[in-house]
Structure 1
Amino acid sequence: MTIYAVYGATGHTGRLVTTELLSRGKDVVLSGRDSSGLAALGHPRIHVAAADDPDALHALAETADVLINCAGPFAITGQPVAQAAAEAGCHYVDHSVEIHPVRRIYDTLTEQAQRAGITMIPSLSFYGGLGDLLAGAVARAVPDIDRITVAYAVTNWKMTTGAVNTARLLFADTERIGYENGALRTGFVEPRNAVFAFPPPVGPRTVIAPVPFPEPFTIPRHTPVCSVEAQLTARTFEEEQAFTSEHVDSAERAASEFTIAAQVLAANGSASGSLRGRDLWRAGALASVEAAVRIAEGAVKSGVLAPADAFDARDFLRTLADRDAFTLDLPAES
């Protein structure tokens, strides 16, 4: 039987991922650094491993066929956990929203993953992952693309401790990675306020542009495009509860509402698509589990891949919509 390891299993995302895997009848090992927290989960198979303990991480990866890393910030956990997976020949999926750890995995582990015949997909979660998949799905309707914008409208987001720590790292980042004129650009970028026209019922909203999400790095890996930008509604971080809700219960945390829109522009046409739902945490967890199961079933090529490079984006999103992760609106293919 395929064994799935969940790293960061005691956190909110880790619990959601574990619940979904178990609901599908999967064999699961729960892992993280907190031995007492893991024991309290009451699961028969646990493996204690800190992010700075390569031997313990390697031992974890050797017990599993697929490892899902749910422990942020990924600037700390991403590389060591992914490295352990690559060395053990274990498939890897993570929830990173940070573009630098995503790029580091591509830069350092691509050849090793290909030699080992494993699939590694960093940033398969709500931010980054769903945006990449949506852009890939919409882009199939437009030839000769000039610009892709992925915009997130999020309200009532209640961040976990890991998410708060990640947000602080993102805000402090002065080496932003962007994609303009067909090339990656790295350096300081002054964020601006812009207006993005989300589909009804959200409508036009003020957004922070750009936000340092992974799409400018991942989308060009599967879609020919000149420029890519990710945006987020300014109100998301203006809501007081976003930074003061680290200890709310799961029911309260599930009350977020979201719309993700992808706008694809070309000289001879354009297209847009969107998805809308509640509980961004659950949507991200379902996405990573769906990816892990598909990888385990052997239908994915080896290497370090963007989500829409690993999977048929339309099929993947429709599967998540069928599982009530969100409602989906896509343009007809050209």
Structure 2
Amino acid sequence: MSAVPIAVYGATGHTGRLVATELLARGHPVVLGGRDATGLIELAADLGEGDRVTVRPAALDDPEALRALAASAPVLIHCAGPYALTGPPVVAAAIDVGTHYVDHAVEVHHVKDLFESYSGAGVRIVPGMSFYGGLGDLLAALAAEGMPRVEKVTVGYAVSGWRMTSGARRTADLLINEVERITFTDGAQRVGPLPMYTTTYVFPAPLGPRMMIGPFPTGDAVTIPRHVPTDAVEVLLTATTFTEPQVFTSEHVDDTERAATAFTVAAEVVAGGVHRTAHVTGHDIWWAGAVASVEAALDLASDYHREPGTGVRSPAETFPAGPFLRRLEELGAFVLAVS
């Protein structure tokens, strides 16, 4: 494909830098956007790619600047959370100028709101195309492939050594304090008060049984039922993830320490006594998410998606789950297995 430019909003954050660096490594010009004009200029200098990098500052309360940023590329990757706060003006700008939109959102309410508000948009909108949400959605589609009906989908996230960025910390604070939780049970989406609970989930070897907390409020509960015919979706996170030292006080650690994450994401489907699981294992959730969003954006900008359709679609509704996950595996994002 031709080396079209890709716009990155929130480029000065950790994820934004990873996305911009990956795009440049793939031979694509980048347009750096965000609220910090000085930081964007410094990032452009650090990247050292000359005129392959353009800077377009855009505050969230400046619709004209946001539209100018979005209009500079066929696809915009949004990397600045919390998305419940930053998402609406950025996605609105992309829609206004006809630019496809991809984001890294973990927040389930944001994902739900996009599906409800922009189903008729004239561009493709893919929320949660990242580690949390995106991988679970794709793995569930792969595990359920060929099954006419699934009784339950369980997505388990096992994460150790997570070091949050400032944006991730703000997002976590919002999610932990949420009262209205979104779940999918008895074949229907439900919104209402629901306390968090603990349970045990058995990951594929070598992890095995782990104590988990649920419902973990990612977009999986909204996206998976759109393409997997299931009665229930349960999303869980290892209970130890939030109790590890430094997880909530690590905004300023260096990139090497932030990359030292170990993860497994497993999607298990149950149908008529048959259990099938697709899972990935790897290191550095930030880079895995960045590569996933870059791959998605380049597909949307390529001949592969010359007519990608419009409106809001989950990752697995937009990209064939098996081939897409295997491409990410080839890029070194993780190791994929199906059992």
Report the TM range for the smaller structure's normalisation. over 0.9
Displaced runs of 4 or more, over 4 A: none
* SS of match in other structure, 2:250: coil
Determine the structure 2 residue equivalent to 1:223.
228
Tell me by how many angstroms 1:108 deviates. Answer: 1.2
CA distance in 2, matches of 1:88, 1:58: 6
CA-to-partner distance for each residue in 1:88-119, whole Å, 9 max, x for gaps? 1000000000011111111111202xxx2x21
Q: Does 1:72 align with 2:81?
A: yes
By how many angstroms is 1:141 displaced? 4.8
The answer to whether residue 160 in structure 2 is matched with residue 149 in structure 1 is: no
Aligned amino acid, residue 65 of structure 1: P
2:32 aligned residue: 30
Distance in 2 of aligned mates of 1:238 and 1:11 = 24
Shift of 1:223: 1.2
Q: Could you say which residue in structure 2 is the equivalent of 1:301?
A: 309
Give the aligned CA root-mean-square deviation in angstroms: 1.1
Q: Verify: 1:277 aligned to 2:266, yes or no.
A: no
Alignment check: 8 A CA contact 1:142 1:270 kept: no
AA at the equivalent of 2:39: G
Secondary structure of 1:45's counterpart equals strand
Counterpart residue type for residue 323 of structure 2: D
Distance 2:59 2:338 in 1: 42
What does residue 176 of structure 2 align with?
A: 171
Aligned to 2:50: none
- Cα displacement string for residues 228-269 of structure 1 (whole angstroms, at most 9, x for unaligned residues): 011000000000211111001111100000000111011252
Cα drift, residue 221 of structure 1: 0.9
Question: Which of 115, 125, 133 lines up with 1:128 in the alignment?
Answer: 133
Task: Verify: 1:193 aligned to 2:198, yes or no.
Answer: yes
Counterpart in 2 of 1:90? Answer: 99
> Partners of 1:53 and 1:205 in 2: how far apart?
46
Which residue identity does 1:67 align to in structure 2? L
CA distance in 1, matches of 2:140, 2:246: 30
Residue 36 of structure 1, CA deviation: 0.9
Query: 2: CA distance between counterparts of 1:50 and 1:96?
Result: 19
Alpha-carbon distance, 1:52 to partner: 2.1
1:143–1:266: 8 Å Cα contact kept in structure 2?
Answer: no
Alignment coverage as a number of residue pairs: 327
How much does 1:56 deviate? 1.1
Taking the aligned partners of 1:94 and 1:209, their CA distance within structure 2 comes to 24
Name the CA distance, whole Å, in 2 between partners of 1:227 and 1:50. Answer: 40
Tell me the distance in 2 between the aligned counterparts of 1:289 and 1:255. Answer: 21
Q: Is the 8 A contact 1:126 1:281 kept in 2?
A: yes
Long gaps (5+) in structure 2: 48-52
Q: Following TM superposition, by how much is the alpha carbon of 1:301 offset from its aligned partner in structure 2, in angstroms?
A: 2.8
Amino acid at match of 2:294: V
Match of residue 315 from structure 1: 323
Report what 1:158 is aligned to: 163
Q: 2:56 and 2:204 mapped to 1: Cα distance?
A: 45
CA contact (8 A) 1:79 1:104 kept: no
Q: Aligned equivalents of 2:212 and 2:86: distance in 1? A: 29
Match of 1:111 in 2: 120
| Inter-partner Cα distance in structure 1 for 2:168 and 2:273 | 40
- Choose from 39, 42, 45 the match for 2:54: 45
Pair 1:238 & 2:243 matched: yes
Deviations 1:134-170 (A, max 9, x none): 1111111533201000000000000000000000000
Q: Which deviates the most, 141-150 or 169-178?
A: 141-150
Over residues 280-305 of structure 1, what are the superposed CA-to-partner deviations in whole Å (9 max), with x where a residue is unaligned?
00000000000000111142332210
- Length-normalised TM-score, structure 1: 0.96
TM-score by length of 2: 0.94
Give the residue type in structure 2 aligned to 1:309.
E
